[in-house]
Amino acid sequence: MSTETLEFQAEARQLLQLMVHSIYSNKDIFLRELISNASDALDKRRLAGLRDDRLGAEDLRIDVEVDNEARTLTVRDNGIGMSRDDVVGLIGTIARSGTAETLRRLRESKESAELIGQFGVGFYSVFMVADNVVLSTRKAGEETGVRWESDGGGTYTIETAEDVPEGTSVTLHLRPADEEDALHDYADERRIRELVKRYSDFISFPITLGDETLNSMKALWARQRSEVKDEEYREFYRRISHDWTDPLEIIQMRAEGTFEYEALLFLPSRAPHDLYQRDARHGIQLYVKRVFILDDSRELLPDHLRFVKGVVDAADLSLNISREMLQQDRHIQLIRRRLAKKVLSTVKDLMRNDVEKYRTFWREFGPAVKEGLLDGAEDHKAILDIASFASTAGDEPVGLADYVARMKDGQDKIYYMTGESRAQVENSPHMEAFRAKGYEVLLLTDPVDEIWVEAVHDYDGKEFQSIASGEVDLPSEEDPSPEKSGRYASLLAWLNETLDEVQDVRLTTRLTDSPACLVSAAEAITPALEKLYRAMGQAVSPVKRILELNPEHPLVSGLNSAYEQRAADPGLTETAELLYGCALLAEGGDLNDPARFAKLFTDRLVRTV
């Protein structure tokens, strides 16, 4: 058979370069990557066998062989194998999205090694320890096999091979050991034994070296928590999550009775890069009686908990269950509800007992969890219970229960303001009276906050109230006196007519230092939400807002007197425009015509110098 020489795809080549000139400290991990791939291939084979007798295989296993003389190490499985196209497409290419980005991060990052596994580039890690690699494989059910070989440079060779058994074997020609470079002697059986035990003990297929089985094969989720070492959990987490940081929290569950299942879940300690991408992978694998069935099982946890990783092993499902069937299955829905509850209650415990961990969790995943406030009401209360928000009360985020406990006498609402940043919200004029009177205000600055506050009515019977929309009714606050309103009546009417941008002009007690602010009508959408809808491509007609004036401010009272004396003065119209513009700028809004504002403003300044 003729041998073909092919080039690695450009990104793959770059990645190989990184591996060959590896500066990563932990080169041991190549073995775990190979075993992990072999185990995946065995899972696929077992599943294929369940669905098609011809693909079944006895004695699924992973064999490791070392040849000290030849300095080779082979990892062989009798799993699903690969066709020629598979080899070219999967091994010669990095097919997953985000590769360019990954490479950039790999090059720049100090924690580079931690990124290798995350993006499905595991196989290439063999070039950290080998200067030549041969992969022989035959796909289950196919007649002929394939032999692939590369030294990790720009090219590889590929040829048809007749005498290859079903499954895959990968033979590494090992580079000379160099302890200084943390390149150990991987032809040393003791080392191999130790590495398999450390990294791959829980793999559910036997991993053998000669006659010896190296791993215990115990499914971690079926073992008592007290029997499992933290290190074993961490390794397992790494395998299923491709995240090299340790998990934040481990959750183990077991349900007995009519419908039995076991679950082992992990809360990661940092958000994956694709958390907010629509096609982001979910982290739950489904097993049925220890047999791997599916990963990326979206049905097992609601979307807003998509970052949770782990395994669910259900005893009573059919091995033939498909994704479509999962969506319909009543038991699955039950599991989903229980898992979601358990995750939220675990976070609640952290909030009480381990604030550091809780804070990490909420910082990384809070915005995703809050998406759960937008759909069915099921977990609203549990989500609000574990939510925390920046607040005017201090630098640390506060929970709603704490907010409610601190509410002032007579206060019956939870005050909040949404916006793009803490500074913007905190310095906005709307905050003035609340600050002056000592009311705590929550500062909601995640984009999702704009939406959920519309959907959720109250917490613990206390209504959410935006301080930037509707009328403020601070307890014990009096409305601007009727007498004062009378004195300002003609100014208000005139401004209302003059300023096209506003829907109404009125007096307020909301302000102490600023002359004016803009508020949304109680039922209207906020400017931020308007912006958000536009960004999502929805047509929204511009929403007019209400200009509120502080009658105690010299600019407002002065304008009132001036208007009484010389209503026809065109300078007053400019003052009105400037007043409106200042109110918009103060809350971080965008002026319609910044050049005109700057000009009017400059003209005024000229008169003062």
Ligand X SMILES: Nc1ncnc2c1ncn2[C@@H]1O[C@H](COP(=O)(O)OP(=O)(O)OP(=O)(O)O)[C@@H](O)[C@H]1O
Q: ∠402-407-408 over CA atoms, to 5°?
A: 150
Give the count of alpha carbons within 13 A of 410, CB side only: 8
Order of strands, sheet of 413-418, starting from the edge strand that comes earlier in the sequence:
394-399, 388-391, 442-444, 413-418, 462-466, 458-459
- Report if residue 508 touches ligand X, rule: CB under 6 A: no
591: CB partners within 8 A, 6+ apart: 581, 584, 585, 597
211-214: long-range pairs with CB below 8 Å, 24+: 214/64
Report phi then psi at 277, rounded to 5: -90, 140
Window contacting ligand X (CB under 6 A); options: 73-81, 260-268, 286-294, 495-503: 73-81
219: CB partners within 8 A, 6+ apart: 202, 204, 287, 290, 313
The residue at minimum Cβ distance from ligand X is 122
Window contacting ligand X (CB under 6 A); options: 34-42, 151-159, 459-467, 504-512: 34-42
Window contacting ligand X (CB under 6 A); options: 113-121, 151-159, 506-514, 527-535: 113-121
Window contacting ligand X (CB under 6 A); options: 11-19, 29-37, 102-110, 506-514: 29-37
Return the number of other C-beta atoms located less than 10 Å from residue 534's C-beta. Answer: 12
Residue 236 and residue 93 in contact, taking contact as beta carbons nearer than 8 Å: no
- DSSP, res 387: -
β-pairing, 462-466 with 413-418? parallel
- Report if residue 123 touches ligand X, rule: CB under 6 A: yes
- Shortest distance, CB of residue 37 to ligand X, whole angstroms? 3
- Shortest distance, CB of residue 546 to ligand X, whole angstroms? 55
Nearer to ligand X, 123 or 439 (CB): 123
Closest among 33, 30, 22, 18 to 103, alpha carbons compared: 18
Window contacting ligand X (CB under 6 A); options: 121-129, 222-230, 367-375, 581-589: 121-129
- Shortest distance, CB of residue 200 to ligand X, whole angstroms? 13
| Count of residues in contact with ligand X, rule CB under 6 A | 19
Instruction: Tell me which of 120, 154, 480, 588 binds ligand X, using CB under 6 A.
Output: 120
* Separation of CA 443 from chain center: 21
Nearer to ligand X, 91 or 326 (CB): 91
Q: What is the DSSP string of 394-447?
A: EEEEEEHHHHHHHPPTT--EEEEEE-S-HHHHHTSGGGHHHHHTT---EEE-SH
- Report if residue 168 touches ligand X, rule: CB under 6 A: yes
Nearer to ligand X, 33 or 364 (CB): 33
Instruction: Tell me which of 22, 37, 72, 360 binds ligand X, using CB under 6 A.
Output: 37
Instruction: Tell me which of 29, 31, 80, 203 binds ligand X, using CB under 6 A.
Output: 80
Window contacting ligand X (CB under 6 A); options: 12-20, 97-105, 115-123, 413-421: 115-123
> Distance between CA atoms of 321 and 252, rounded to whole angstroms?
24
- The residue type found at 174 is L
Nearer to ligand X, 280 or 521 (CB): 280
Q: ∠528-529-530 over CA atoms, to 5°?
A: 90
Nearer to ligand X, 121 or 332 (CB): 121
- Report if residue 429 touches ligand X, rule: CB under 6 A: no
Query: Per CB under 6 A, which of residues 213..272 are in contact with ligand X?
Result: 242
Nearer to ligand X, 78 or 526 (CB): 78
599: CB partners within 8 A, 6+ apart: none
Instruction: Tell me which of 15, 19, 35, 82 binds ligand X, using CB under 6 A.
Output: 82
Instruction: Tell me which of 121, 382, 441, 572 binds ligand X, using CB under 6 A.
Output: 121
- Report if residue 43 touches ligand X, rule: CB under 6 A: no
> Distance between CA atoms of 344 and 348, rounded to whole angstroms?
6
Window contacting ligand X (CB under 6 A); options: 37-45, 258-266, 318-326, 463-471: 37-45
- Report if residue 117 touches ligand X, rule: CB under 6 A: yes
Residues near ligand X (CB under 6 A) are: 33, 36-38, 41, 77, 79-82, 90-91, 117, 120-123, 168, 242
